[in-house]
Amino acid sequence: MIDIKLIRENPQKYKDGAKAKKFQIDMDRLLEVDSRLLVCRKKLQDLATEKNRIGKDIPRLAPDQKKEALTALSKLKDEEAGLNEEVKNLQPELDTLMGQVPQPPAPEVPFGEDDTQNVELRTWGTIRQFDFEPKDHVELGQNLGIIDIERGVKLAGTRNYFLKGDGALLHWAALRFAMDHMIAKGYTPMSVPLLMRDEVMMGTGYFPGSEEQTYQMERDALNLAGTAEVPVTAYHSGEILSESQLPIKSVALSTCFRREAGAAGKDTRGLYRIHQFDKVEQVIIGENDEQKSIAYHREILTNSEEVLQALNLPYRVVNVCTGDLGRGQVQKFDIETWMPSRKSYGETHSASRFYEFQARRMNLRYKTSTGKNEFCHTLNNTVIASPRVLIPILELYQNADGSVTVPPVLRPYMFGKERIEPKS
């Protein structure tokens, strides 16, 4: 959420930011409601002052004067009731409008309509050239007996799957390697709840806007989180931390759930766009300092690049354009890993910087050394998400005989296994 004072000072900045991000927000109505609320609250303060004055005078007044004072007091109370009713009606509208205002993108974010206009910053690794006809991960997985999509669909519907045997081991190996990498860097590991209240989804900026992508359990007023970003970022919501506690660097491994509403017919083959997956997520809660946040952003991006480099998976980093940014993100870098079956890079990581957008919505603050309460800054990024990462691993490490070489860094997590061989 944006500080209303900033919107009052420069409404055009937020109108332009919303337009660049392709969010619809009636800023004029927001300012109108805010202005009326300010007037109402000022009048209520004045009425309270006048009521107190009359109340103190009444005991000293003559009977006829006392009657006039009581009549005036009654009129003030009626006026007060009317103003309180107006505030009661207007405040929810302002809250709703404020929840819709997107954070303006940073100046270094490229202007664009959608992900096709994201700007490539750099690439890493060499794209493998095959001397045989390579298979995609679905065919490889079926032949090796490690992926079963057919039975996943039979039991749970489209975009579901089973990982079996070495497929399950490879999946867990990638996740455990990523966790170990982050723990070695000093990030605190967390195991998190997956069911979140609406206020947590609103606090982290997923509501309003992502309701259609969220599995919602109306009966229990709970939601299945689409990422560990939600519980980890909201862990200290409503608290005032001490400056000495910051930055808080956390990493969590969780199962994630996404409805993929609106994705009918898109990426339907294989493990790219699915309803349930596991992800290692890194979150930083830091000081209210833009330069420090920018440095943390580089840090979490580097952490993920190190994981891909250790797996020797070629990738590129893109600066996400305005039209592809979420409501709260001031800037986002995506990492896209090369996937031979797609003949292109596919998104595997998203590193986001929010400044105080999420913290303000969650009332997450810290006390500075001077005793002032400030809103924290928040950031997050994928460390690894599986089984999507299995697409480049299986396809890039495949051999002509149909086997798959296990990346060296994952072998300790697979009991030393060097190859996944077809079952005889």
Could you list the active site residues? 258, 273, 347, 350, 388
| Stretch (H or E) spanning 331 | strand 331-339
The tokens describing 230, both together, are: 């939600």
**C-alpha closest to that of 158 among 255, 256, 254, 263:** 263
> Which runs of E-coded beta strand occur in 211-309?
216-217, 222-224, 240-242, 248-257, 276-286
- In the chain, the N- to C-terminal Cα span, in Å, equals 58
Residue found under tokens 């090796």: 144
Per the CB < 8 A criterion, the answer to whether 7 and 31 are in contact is yes
d(CA 274, CA 272): 6
Backbone dihedral angles phi then psi of residue 65, each to the nearest 5 degrees: -70, -35
DSSP state of 101: P
Q: 381 has which bridge partners? A: 282, 351
DSSP state of 345: E
d(CA 60, CA 72): 16
Q: What Å distances lie between residue 124 and 215, 241, 315, 331, 406, CA to CA? A: 36, 39, 5, 21, 20
b/e 334-365 (16+ beta carbons within 10 angstroms → b): bbbbbbbbbeebbbbbbbbbbbbbbbbbbebb
The tokens describing 300, both together, are: 């979490």
Q: What Å distances lie between residue 252 and 36, 158, 259, 281, CA to CA? A: 44, 27, 21, 5
b/e 134-154 (16+ beta carbons within 10 angstroms → b): bbbbbbbbeebebbbbeebee
The tokens describing 95, both together, are: 């809250």
The tokens describing 331, both together, are: 């800037």
Counts for the chain of helices (H) and strands (E), in that order: 12, 18
